[in-house]
Chain A
Amino acid sequence: MYDRKRLKEKAEKAKDKHASIGPDIDLKEYTVAPVPHAYMADEDLCKMPETEQHLLNMTGIDVTKKDRGGTFFQKDTQVIHCHARQDGIEVIPMTQALEKYDWIEEYYWKLASVDSDKYTAAAELDLHDGYVVRALPGSKSVYPVQACLYLEKDGLQQNVHNIIIAEEGSELHMITGCASSPQMKTGLHVGVSEFFIKKNAKLSFTMIHNFGEEMVVRPRSVARVEEGGLFLNNYICMKPVKSLQTYPVTDLVGRDSVARFYSIIVGSPGSNYDIGGKIVLKESGSRAEIIARSISNGGNVINRGHLIGDAPDIKAHLECRGLLINGGTLDAIPQLTAHVEGVEMSHEAAVGKIAQDEIQYLMSRGLSRDEATSTIVRGFLSVDIPGLPPQLKAEIDRAIEESDKDVM
């Protein structure tokens, strides 16, 4: 068993440390005591109340597990379902991995720092669980692995640590849905994720958030991509949330490695988002792309993006577009840093309103003003994400379609 004494000592020192960005959260307002839930078999999953099923469905989680390579389900602090259905794919609860497998030491807190801030510290000091998903060398996932992190207990601080490993030459697709029960009023979700994309491996990771209006969310993600590896990271949050701050970092450490970040955010009234991402291109031939689409209809959205070129012959592009449709604020903060000659880096940021000529064009085809507006918004949010399997693409389209009703 992994002795985490030194990690805990480090965490202890950082337990009051404010994050470098985002409003500070008083962790004393939340409880971390374990909330027991019974393990659910396949058939139990399908017997969940319809409202819950629907909620999960909207975050891309299919309780029937059809067309899924594996399923992980954590409710509050407890893993209630964990199952891999495909050869070459392992899905293990984090607490179990820490207990049983020595190799976890090579990954656990190796990319993210336990003492980054009070949230990473809390994730170590009061770790509830999380998942380890691993695609064995050369394995190709046909169906995506789905993971769900669900909150039900009012006032809970859910501490989760996930590790995703795509071994050499493997291909792994994951969809993670984070949601909170409609009955839940306040809560805090802390999620540490470490991504290892090894030589010539391909990982697509799609996260859909569907939290309640009073929820606070602090994901902490770091990824490392080796030679010839590809990391596709999609983030979708279209439901109101009180405060969400995340700033995932990806290091492209191998030649010809690629990272692409796509995010779709809808800021409803009362919501505060501070999201962004940093990609460091450390070896020549690597490519990075950050594409962000944000809409505010009364919420506050800060969109950060930072590309750092550390090697020649790299290519990086950042595109940040925002639409203000009903008040609120949009803040686009793109940043490019080059440390060597021979880099090709660009960014484009645009914040605006829906163009009148586009609305009128659609109206002249018979659409009402409202229909025209929602058609344009839907188009704005539909980003072509290359390299996604069709089911995943369909899930994303569906999430957008569902949430579209709330946007207007």
Chain B
Amino acid sequence: MLVIEDLQVELANKIILKHIDLEIKQGETHALFGPNGSGKTSLLMAIMGYPQYKVLSGKIMFKGEDITYMPINERAQLGIGMSYQRPPTINGLKTRQMIHLCGKGKVDEEKLAGRINFSNFLDRDINAGFSGGEIKRSELLQLMAQDPDLMLFDEPESGVDMENMALVGKTIAAMLQRNGFHEEGKSILQTKHERKKMGLIITHTGYIFDYVTADKGQVLFDGMLSSVENPREILRCIGQTGYEECVRCMTEND
């Protein structure tokens, strides 16, 4: 379980997250909305533990542990993973080696890559010259190998072509143990009941909801979060009245 209490975060001497409260229970997936520059990626980076995103106050708890000041790699080991929007290129490091590192040598890189239509990229340097959609698939592949309990997705569908969209969507559903995905030897219901994986997904378009249902929607506006039960409802509201009006309406209904 992830619990964030009254979190205030600064980046380059500017407060970008004013007051964040968030709770993702075991097995839950939340959608994260917000206009450009509202701090969605910053929130994910703060949860992942990037020290540039300086926590001024509040705390982040994961699996009962206070991780507010924990280094990135320790959070990763505790079970937090992230799919990035613009990851850096590492020259000379093959995608295959990267998957090997993510999976601690315990995964079959070839087989995993086959599942996300990425086999042809295994011998290329990680992220070198990858298109937007290729980056998304590479990131997913790394997360699959890593298999964390809390997955942070930064716009997993943006840039992905029509042909691969369903593949990406279904893969994320499987990773989050959702939407009809069930483990071998277990029923759908049983899988749902025992579901442990948690997700936080940034999306602008909501295309991802065609494949992955979210339990809750969160709107980040003016450095604060407002939460609502039905993410599709938020999407409709934002489309009709814009973020500001939508947030006002939501908080009034609270």
Contact = CB atoms under 8 A, between A and B. Distances in A.
B50 interface: yes
Contact of A365 (B71, B88, B98): B98
B231 interface: no
Nearest to B80: A364
A364 B88 CA distance: 12
Contacts of A383: 92
A381 B102 CA distance: 21
A363 interface: yes
B56 interface: no
Interface in B93-120: 93, 97-98, 101-102, 104
B165 to A, nearest CB: 25
A357 B89 CA distance: 10
Interface residues of A, number: 22
B76 A364 contact: yes
Interface string A354-388: 01011011111111110010011011111100000
A3 B179 CA distance: 87
A367 B81 CA distance: 12
Contacts of A362: 90, 101
Contacts of A366: 73, 76-77, 101-102, 104, 146
B90 A376 contact: yes
A363 B91 contact: no
Nearest to A380: B92
B84 interface: yes
Contacts of B71: 363, 369
B246 interface: no
Contacts of A380: 91-92
A374 to B, nearest CB: 11
Q: A-B pairs with the 10 shortest C-beta distances?
A: A379-B92, A379-B93, A363-B72, A363-B73, A366-B76, A382-B92, A357-B88, A365-B102, A358-B88, A364-B72
Interface of B: 48-50, 71-73, 75-77, 81-82, 84, 87-88, 90-93, 97-98, 101-102, 104, 125, 142, 146
Given A362-B90, A366-B77, A367-B101, 17 more contacts: A355-B88, A357-B88, A358-B88, A358-B90, A360-B50, A361-B87, A362-B101, A363-B76, A364-B73, A365-B76, A365-B98, A369-B73, A372-B73, A379-B90, A379-B91, A380-B92, A381-B92
